[in-house]
Structure 1
Amino acid sequence: MTVLSSTAVEEAAVPAPTRRRRTWSAYWLIAPGVVWMALFLVVPILMIVYVSFWTQTTFKIEPVLTMRSWQAFFGSDTYLGALWTTIRIWLIVLCTTFLVGYPTALFVGLFVRNKTLANALLVLCVIPFWTSFLIRVLAWRPMLGKEGAINIILQALHVTSAPIDALLFTELSVIIGMTQIYCVFMVGPIAFMLGRIDPNVIEAARDLGAGFFRIFRTIILPLSMPGVIVGAIFVSVMVLGEFATASALSGRKVNMLGNIIVTQVGSLKWAFAAVVGVILTVLMGVVVAAFLRVVDLRREL
């Protein structure tokens, strides 16, 4: 004998015309969002894919389908090197933002009991965003230069005897700048998830004799994983599409896929820029899909 839930019984009692009206009402509610996403996301992406197969000549582009632009990308060590550089910098920045952001979020979300103080600390993390993005990037130049603040402090503390040249116009400077700029996108979601943990659960674990590291490993880290995944998605999407930070802090010595797109568009090579754009979009899609496989955000949030 099948036992029906009260919800199923109530739904079965609703007349068929009423159920159909409810269904159409739901469709009308999502229609504006579907139309918006189709016009401003799906159609542009399809257009970029289409343009990537156009024939590019020196001074013009023709809608004649060809694979030349794709062959030029995958047949060049320079462009493949830029792809690897983008992936490498993304992985490093993802790790550094997590290593810097998680302890900060742990302190704000779990150890600060006063909610007003916790909110104030999160606002302090957001204060740099009150200024222009370009100003925040260029502000690292006087910090990292040979006569910058960091080198002066290191020499004053007798840590180094001479200025460190590798701090500016290198890949290291790009990583430092991106870590500082995007760390807050890791801190926010993690602090939010840590703030939802019931203190009684941690207290019960302590009463049972668990130490901090065991509590962290078995309770805090698993419960904060949705925030880690959300932060990782934010950081990944922004770092993979970066071009300004790499250009400003590396002296154009570090080429990422975003820098190639800007250069190709400036040279009116739309087909090749579209190829790089498609590759970057696919890369972002794979990364986001991989993160979403780790944690079911719809269930956890």
Structure 2
Amino acid sequence: MLSIPLLAAAILATPVAIPSAPDSLRPFTVRLRGVVGAEAFQCGQSYRDIGTSKATMTASDFRFYVHNVRLVTTAGDTVRVALAKDAPWQDGEVALVDFEDGTGPCANGTPDTRSEVTVMAPAGSYRGVAMTLGVPFARNHGDLAAQGPPLSLSRLFWSWNGGYKFLRVDMRATQGDSAAAGWVVHLGSTGCTGDAGAKAPTSCAQPNRAEVRLPGFDPSTDVIVADLAALLSRSDVRRNQPQTALGCMSAPNDADCGGLFASLGLAHPAGTGRDTPPFFRTMKAGAVRAAQGAGR
């Protein structure tokens, strides 16, 4: 669970609409960086001391969807902003953040990367950001072939029933001179059911959309860091719970998901507690060593 001061949590809890004519809105860029601890994420690079077994990890995918972005003004008002339409990364409602570049072990990915989300908001000063990790229910279940970007990627889609993989991280991990073992993080909705003959589910028992709230975030100077070392800190990426999917594919009976869900602020029967390091945090732009470019 993300640690948030009570006052900041209260500010972010109830978004308010600030009336503005369309021509009074201006673009704001929410910048993100993929990191592994103190190092920038790169396809093909190996990272040591990952998870509870202190394994060496090489990732082959690192992408996620966000929506429902909100900015908090210096006066404490929460503004629900619109995503700018910027194909193929944003369609006005959902944005894709993509840190893999299709090279080396990421060969199944795409060459272009994206490390920012552009929103349209009233002019002003902002000191906080919130967003939802995932795809909204109304757009999460349907025919992939009928979707435009950024929801047209087959590698981020399970099925009409399961919907999309909100977060996809694929990796291989070694320990000492042992052989590399595969491990994945595929976050998405589970337990989705519908009426007989329905073309899409009517509900999901575990929606698994993570709320990200970062008070103090200044879009002019700060970046949101997505840290794989923090996400995996309570997981053993060298082992897999028997009789379950590889790594974590969001099942409530998979103990391998406990630490990951805690890092994302999501409930899980095997959750590891509120002291689990959060996946997302805020840093000053210059503090991210060897930060990857915007990738536009």
Task: Point out the structure with the larger helix share.
Answer: 1
Task: Point out the structure with the larger strand share.
Answer: 2
Shared fold, TM over 0.5: no
Larger radius of gyration: 1
Give the shorter-chain TM-score range. Answer: under 0.3
Report the TM-score, using the length of structure 2 for normalisation.
Answer: 0.23
